A = this chain, B = another copy of it.
């Protein structure tokens, strides 16, 4: 479990045992069951989460009550309502488990402690954040450029594993297409 975090960080920066022990001490292990909410819209967001195992969806529910999936998070991804986390405001999104899930939670205080005390982690955090930014930007390009069927096929190619793990309803909510229309793509 801890090894997952360590090897994840060490894909970017090497750590001494002492450094890693310190870093680890800043995290809290949390376990959730399938369908449980980790973050609920309107509540405050105390943690950013590193996913050890399981699968999460980050969702936004619009005025009409329709749920849109902003992102999925699987093993070795970071997830939270980062806007609410960093600005310490109420969540505008929800974070919910699609499978039983184990995460490591990091408070904003500990996030800042980590980046103050462990120099290397700043480099790591910059790289993580840049990677997230670049991924979001590519999602924007895809939403602007490709129609629903193209987005579906692109995703099927890029993340075939996800198709085994999430329902078509969830996929549709991620791709920005209705369940029925998505259903007609596969056939």
Seen from chain A, the residues whose Cβ lies within 8 Å of a Cβ on chain B are 60, 62, 66, 68, 70-71, 82-83, 86, 115, 122-123, 125-126, 129-130, 132-134, 136-141, 143-145, 176
A60 touches B134 (CB 8 A): no
30 contacts between A and B (CB under 8 A): A60-B144, A60-B145, A62-B145, A66-B145, A68-B144, A70-B137, A70-B140, A70-B141, A71-B137, A82-B133, A82-B134, A83-B134, A83-B137, A83-B138, A86-B130, A115-B122, A115-B126, A122-B123, A125-B126, A129-B130, A129-B133, A132-B133, A133-B136, A136-B137, A136-B139, A136-B140, A139-B140, A140-B140, A143-B176, A144-B176
Number of copies of this chain that the complex holds? 2
Instruction: Return A80 CB to nearest CB of chain B, in Å.
Output: 11
Interchain CA distance A27-B123 in the complex, whole Å: 21
Interchain CA distance A122-B116 in the complex, whole Å: 10
A140 touches B138 (CB 8 A): no
- Most interface-central of A68, A122, A129, A132 (chain B CB within 10 A): A129
Instruction: Return A65 CB to nearest CB of chain B, in Å.
Output: 12
A82 touches B126 (CB 8 A): no
